[in-house]
Amino acid sequence: MEEKIKALREEAISEFSAAVSAEDVERLRIKYLGRKGLISGLFAGLAGVAPEEKPKIGNLLNELKTAVSEALKGAAARIGSISVSSKAEGLDITMPGIKRPLGHKHPLTQVFERINEIFLNLGFKIADGPEIETSYYNFEALNIPLEHPSRDTFDTFYIKDKHLLRSQTSTVQIRVMEKEKPPLQVIAPGKVYRPDATDASHSFMFHQVEGFMVNEDIRFSDLKGILSLFAKQMFGEDTKMRFRPHFFPFTEPSAEIDISCIICKGRGLLTTKRCSVCGGKGWLEILGAGMIHPKVFESVGYDPAKWRGFAFGMGVERIAMLKFGIDDIRLFYENDLRFLKQF
Ligand code: PHE
Nearest ligand 1 atom to the CA of 313 is 7
- Segment 165-169 mean pLDDT: 96
Which residue's C-alpha comes closest to atom 10 of ligand 1?
Answer: 289
Q: Which of 156, 187, 248 to mutate to test the pocket of ligand 1 (most atoms within 8 A of CB)?
A: 248
φ, ψ of residue 132 to 5 degrees: the values are -90, 115
- Give ∠ CA 148-205-244 in degrees, rounded to 5: 55
Q: Is 188 exposed, middle or buried (0-12, 13-18, 19+ CB in 10 A)?
A: buried
Taking only the tens place, the pLDDT of each residue in 80-112 is 744 444 555 677 778 888 888 889 999 999 999
Give the closest residue to 222 by CA, choosing from 308, 109, 284. 308
Distance CA 221, CA 229 (A): 12
Taking only the tens place, the pLDDT of each residue in 216-244 is 999 999 999 999 999 999 999 999 999 99
Residue ranges of the alpha helices (H) in 131-264?
Answer: 135-138, 151-154, 171-179, 220-235
Q: Find the residues whose C-beta lies inside 6 A of ligand 1.
A: 168, 170, 210, 248, 251, 288-290, 311-313
Question: What is the 52 CA–ligand 1 centroid distance (Å)?
Answer: 105
Question: What is the 166 CA–ligand 1 centroid distance (Å)?
Answer: 12
Question: What is the 160 CA–ligand 1 centroid distance (Å)?
Answer: 25
Nearest ligand 1 atom to the CA of 167 is 4
H/E element, 188: strand 184-193
Question: What is the 170 CA–ligand 1 centroid distance (Å)?
Answer: 6
Give the closest residue to 139 by CA, choosing from 130, 126, 127, 148. 148
pLDDT band at 149; cut points 50, 70, 90: confident
Question: Residue 241: how many CB atoms within 10 A of its CB?
Answer: 18
Question: What is the 282 CA–ligand 1 centroid distance (Å)?
Answer: 23
Which residue's C-alpha comes closest to atom 9 of ligand 1?
Answer: 312
Question: What is the 187 CA–ligand 1 centroid distance (Å)?
Answer: 13
Taking only the tens place, the pLDDT of each residue in 327-340 is 899 999 999 999 99
Three-state DSSP at 141 gives helix
Distance CA 310, CA 215 (A): 9
Q: What is the largest CA-CA distance in the chain?
A: 124
Q: Report the Cα 128 to chain-centroid distance in Å.
A: 20
- pLDDT value of position 85: 47
Which residue's C-alpha comes closest to atom 7 of ligand 1?
Answer: 313
Question: Is residue 209 predicted with pLDDT exceeding 90?
Answer: yes
What type of residue sits at position 94?
T
- The DSSP letter of residue 47 is G
Task: Tell me the CA distances in angstroms from 23 to 93, 180, 275, one per residue in order.
Answer: 18, 73, 76
Give the closest residue to 184 by CA, choosing from 110, 136, 254, 123. 123
Q: Which of 250, 254, 292, 296 to mutate to test the pocket of ligand 1 (most atoms within 8 A of CB)?
A: 250
Residue ranges of the alpha helices (H) in 282-326?
Answer: 294-299, 316-324
Question: What is the 332 CA–ligand 1 centroid distance (Å)?
Answer: 22
Taking only the tens place, the pLDDT of each residue in 267-279 is 888 878 888 888 8
Find out whether 207 and 192 touch, Cβ atoms under 8 Å: yes
Q: Which of 170, 171, 312 to mutate to test the pocket of ligand 1 (most atoms within 8 A of CB)?
A: 170
Question: Residue 48: how many CB atoms within 10 A of its CB?
Answer: 7
Average pLDDT, the chain: 91
Enter the pTM of the model.
0.72
Question: Is residue 13 predicted with pLDDT exceeding 50?
Answer: yes
Distance CA 182, CA 212 (A): 11
